[in-house]
Amino acid sequence: MAGWPKWRQLRIGVLMGGLSAEREVSLRSGENVYRALKARGYNAIKLELSSPDELIPKLAEVDLVFICLHGGLGEDGTIQALLDCLGKPYTGSGALASRLALDKLLAKEAFLRAGLPTPPYIHPDSEGWLAAALEGAERLGFPVVVKPRAEGSSLGVRIVHSPAELEAALRETKERFGDLYLEKFIPGKEVTAGILRIGGEDRALPLIELRPREGFYDYKAKYTPGATEFIIPAALEPEVAQKAQELALAAHHALGCFGFSRVDLRVTEAGEAFILEVNTIPGMTATSDLPKAAAAAGIPFEELVEYMLKTAFKEGEDARSFD
């Protein structure tokens, strides 16, 4: 599309639902984005996806796609590649960056290549994987984190405290999620950094510290209102916070992400930060982090949605005008 579009004349499809384990979260995100776009006078429609056959006909109805799918198809680069083929602009990261971010092992390799800190890990080979995993856990030490290679929303992430629990945890994770890896447990604080492109410049938003009231930051802690305490900005020394924000921005760029993302980190008591992962399609629910981080930077929800919308045009960006 040459030049700047007349934004309010474009038919914008908010793609939501999908078939992944995060369908319900996606529906809530999509609804909020849809409402924000309508409130700001855009010609938005909801594209709720319930089966793969609906995908192409639904995409044909719109000029631009605001992707609110979490996990699976929407976040693994598949939809992005399809939209590239169809020549339809879409919000956020492209196909390759999306794929890299969702595959946490590829992402970790990319962080390490870029010289960015990520917790030490072991990826047990398919042959003799169980013995390799058990032996690897001893090397990493307990507690150890067992993670599916490609899932989100903490689904399947388990913190294993003793060797006695390990084998069952590994077998269950393997059976339910397939490929997995073990990661060194990083004690300390849980923080997340929203990344947002405004006026052609990528910024790290104020850090959010997440303190689950019980256990760790699992699915329940993420999506049950009140289950997690949010500290904004995170209670960190200013230079530690700044370093974590710089790392988050570097992680976003190391994967080739575009426009926005949310980077999860752990920060030790000594102020050392480790990158856990980059989420290319951050949640936009009432309890989600990116909207909270934006609000802390003085950016209301509807304006955040407009900045995200703008990322659909990757050249000649000018986020000053929404008309």
For Mg ion, the nearest residue by Cβ is 264
Active site residue 264: yes
CB 187 → ligand ADP: shortest distance, Å? Answer: 7
Which CA distances in Å does 112 have to 106, 214, 310? 10, 32, 31
Q: Find the shortest distance in angstroms from Cβ 54 to ligand ADP.
A: 26
Using CB under 6 A as the binding rule, whether residue 145 contacts ligand ADP is answered as: yes
Decide if 183 contacts 145 (C-beta within 8 A).
yes
Using CB under 6 A as the binding rule, whether residue 266 contacts ligand ADP is answered as yes
- Using rule CB under 6 A, residue 152 touches ligand ADP: yes
Binding of residue 153 to ligand ADP (CB under 6 A): yes
Residue 28, CA distances (Å) to 54, 273, 286, 295 in order:
20, 31, 8, 19
| Cα 212 from Cα 300, distance rounded (Å) | 25
Report the residue closest to ligand ADP, judged by CB: 217
Count of residues near Mg ion by CB under 5 A: 1
Q: Is 223 a catalytic residue?
A: yes
Pick what 43 binds: ligand ADP, Mg ion, none; C-beta below 5 to 8 Å, kind-dependent: none
Q: Which of 22, 48, 75, 264 binds ligand ADP (CB under 6 A)?
A: 264
Residue 22 is a catalytic residue: yes
Strand pairing class (43-49; 121-122): unpaired
Work out which of 264, 265, 291, 307 binds Mg ion, going by CB under 5 A. 264
Which residue among the candidates 13, 136, 156, 283 is catalytic per the annotation?
283
- Listed in sequence order, the residues at least 6 apart from 138 whose beta carbon sits closer than 8 Å to its beta carbon are 163
> Which 3-state string (H, E, C) describes 141-204?
CCCEEEEECCCCCCCCCEEECCHHHHHHHHHHHHHHHCCEEEEECCCCEEEEEEEEEECCEEEE
Task: Tell me the window of 13-21, 130-138, 167-175, 178-186 that interacts with ligand ADP (CB under 6 A).
Answer: 178-186
Measured between its terminal Cα atoms, the distance across the chain in Å is 16
- Look at residue 119 and give the partner it binds from Mg ion, ligand ADP, none, a contact being a CB closer than 5 to 8 Å depending on partner kind: ligand ADP
Taking the complex as a whole, how short is the minimal distance between the CB of residue 221 and ligand ADP, in angstroms?
A: 8
Give whichever of 76 and 306 is closer to ligand ADP, judged by the CB atom: 76
Q: Which of 22, 48, 190, 209 is catalytic?
A: 22
Contact between 76 and Mg ion by CB under 5 A: the answer reads: no
Q: How far is the CB of 277 from Mg ion (least distance, A)?
A: 5
| Span of 24-32, 164-172, 248-256, 257-265 interacting with Mg ion by CB under 5 A | 257-265
Q: Which residues bind Mg ion (CB under 5 A)?
A: 264
